[in-house]
Structure 1
Amino acid sequence: MSTSNADANDLESEYEALLSFMYLSPVGIVRSDKSGLVDMMNPLAAQLLMPLVKGGGIENIFDSLASVAPELRNLVASFEVERGPVCENHRVFVTPARDGAVVLACSIIKVGANLLMTVLTDISRQVDAERRARQTESWLAGIYTSVNDFAFFTLDAEGCIESWNPSVGQLTGFAETDVVGRTLSRFYAHDDIVLHRSPAHIALTRDEGWHVEECWCETKSGRRYWGQILIAVLREEEGDISGYSVVLRDVTERKVTSDNLARLLTTDHLTGVLSRAHFFEIAGSEVARAKRHSRALSVVMLDADYFKRINDTAGHQAGDEVLKRIADEAKGLLRESDTVARLGGEEFILMLPSTTTNEAMAVAERLRVAVERARIDTAVGQLKATVSLGVASLSPANPTLEGLLAAADRALYDAKRAGRNCVRGGFADPTDVDCSVCEDGKASETDGCPATATENDNSNSR
């Protein structure tokens, strides 16, 4: 074989080896000229870049990354050395820097006067882990700003308190005999005990390695304070969970400040209940928690009856007073763990964790009666108002938040069709319209029953 043929074969073998390396590499590799014009890339690089080009071709690496990393082109242009690393593990956030962000590490090497090799690696999981670590470090740093406002103790593998030290007594007033063998609920405020809170906190800690919960707590003497509880898993050498470490902190002062800000951002300015936007922010988590722990969850959707008529005859200021009174009556009936929000106009919704359908129907009926009995002071005198309510519960038929709300909305319309001022469940047969206003469930014009309203009134009442 001639020398020229041997050299050609060697070059071909090297080229095939380069291709094999690129295609089998666990990272994305792109070869381009100095301007970014691509002449070779492996499948993983194409996969990582494809979301950025929105279905188009990947002809220029800098154009493909321009929307998320426009600085790369300038880095290359300003790199005057003929060979060497232009950048190493430069982080490119493909999606916004939040939970679940897609992040690439980009390294560009100049291997010739007009030849670049770009290496792309998906480091999303690493960045998420770093975020969690920073969150933990920040939280722990906050704890040690004062040695007088936190207590440290441990739980056994079943979630019962197994150790005590003086910091517990200093913060809570409880002696060792008061707490050892008890669960975290020992520290909760008596009027704010949610049955699932302690086991749910432990379950989330097992899943994530650590978890933070905040709730109202109470000292032995009865002083309420806003407690922040951090639980971290303790493991044996084999990896089995042996118990948990707990830091309990009094963060009441911080809560007062943050609550004032949160109130402005998350509440309806007129009624003081949650805003529609904030309700939907938390509702999904409530549904997920209920499904994860196989617990009941119900919602009550309610609407002020003939609200347009109130505005038209008494004025919008009087209508505002009616809405505020409905919200106040709802808040007065609910527990700390329940939620009431204004969905818009005259429509409200209650979310009731750990509440069965029958229990939610009872809550809805109590609210209906409370509103009906209320005498609402306005600038034009006292007014009376009623509400119609629809109830639905999480179930195989309503397994999602969207399904739950749709079922409650159907039940609310059933209550409207039944004559208003009544409660209907999402499970009810639409033909079963026993009206709680009218005697024997029958509407009559002589009774003054709202069910006799005209078609136009019905169309404007929501």
Structure 2
Amino acid sequence: MKYILTPYAIAQFTSAIVSLMVVITLWKRRFDRGGFELFFLFVALTEWTFCNGMEAAAVTLRLKIIWSQWAYIGTQTAPVFIFLFALKYSRKTKDISIGKAALLFIVPMIIFLLAATNNQHHLVWSSYSLGQIGTNSIIYNHGPAFWVGIVYIFTLVAISTTLLFLSSVKSQKVYRIQNVILILASITPWLISVLYITRLNPFPGLDISSLGFFFTGVLILIGIRQANLLDYSPIAHELLFENINDGVLVFNENKKVIDMNPGAERLIGMNFAQVIAQESTTLIKCWNLYDDHFSRTENSRFEIVSPFNNRTWLNISISPLKNKKGIFLGWVAIMEDITLRKETEKELQRINQRLASQLDENRQLEKQLREQANRDAMTGVYNRACLKESLASEILYAEQQNQPLSIVMIDVDHFKNINDTYGHKAGDDVLIALGKLLLSQTRDSDFVSRFGGDEFVLFLPGMNCDAAFQRAESWRKTCKKLKIPDLSESINVNISIGIAVYPDNARTMDALLSEADRALYQAKQSGRDCTKVSEFAC
């Protein structure tokens, strides 16, 4: 029989199973801070304890040596992974590169190769002897290479424990339970290893150091499941204080600066020693300007141009500091450089002003375009489309206000003869002059439009028939005196006018225009150069 299951072998296999359970758990958490390092640590521990179990169960010396040789893979690499985890967990990874991390495995690999070839040089194990009767064990007498490996291992474990301890001391309370678990997990196998190598081993010939990792695995599992291990990463107060980008100033109750971070030194332009030296002059005068913001009960926030650099804007938040008993200790001021934000706001303001100006120009242009769309291009009065739209609204308003509304339709007499005799340019000049005349002799509320060809239509809100007739006669008489520019001889311009009144003659837009046109026709039939009013009674 090559193997027998002894109590010691069972203990080693149990430790291997616990380590394997941790491996499975850590695989799911491998992307957390330190997760990969812990994962490979327990892979190494699983291999180590399993090989130790096989060594304890092996009956022949040859098999025991073979399994001991294989166990050296986990024995030598586990401390390296503990060290790398401690660096990652305590945020010291910037101190070691990937290349340096690879160098850490050189000594373990050399020790493993020496163990694998021990029969040729006996540097790891110088000799072997039988252990206690009934234990199926042998005692390994260690050579110089073994002690080199032990020194290396203990150095890494000692540094790792120190890093975790310092992290625990400096970290906030929420992280300390985690760190205590990690310290206990790293110290336990170390202490048991000391018992093994100092001949204080209660079980001579049995490597009990790997059993210490049984307790390490149990503690890690408890830490992950109960203490949120790997969920949080400890960050020391001073790490935050030193690396926060904003400036932090701590004042005592007399407003004297007692601490400041590099961010504050950068914003103030002085280091802490210089601040202390100038405390009684420059800074005191500066902070006295904002004395109202130093409240013992409330937080205060304000924005200022930096008194230390007039090109810098600062957003300053001042909060009272109290201990757990509520006793006032001083203040903490956090200074944020908001220069870029202020410059951006100023630039946005300039852009908004330009946009507002452009928008106003666009409105004016839109108004002009709308006006042009409603105007007759040649005479400048409103066009026919605008007339119909406006007249419909005006009739509705007259109906609501119970007011009259007069419609006046004007036609230039013998306009075709003017075109034929003097040319179309002269005809256009006549229409332009008539449009100017009508615009100059109407009220703001009146509406003047070119209806088509040589016809003009006006509506006069609130004006009855008699007043509209008098106004029309005034236009007719004034028109006779029109002078057309750029003509060597004078032209007599006569107009015929027809008037219809809402609601006397009609109540709809089309009917009103029709009645005004009928009255204009009567004026033409009566010899032209006269004004006629619709005789149709609505």
Q: Assess same fold via TM > 0.5.
A: no
Larger radius of gyration: 2
More strand per residue: 1
* TM-score range relative to shorter protein: 0.3 to 0.5
What is the TM-score of this pair, normalised by structure 1?
0.37
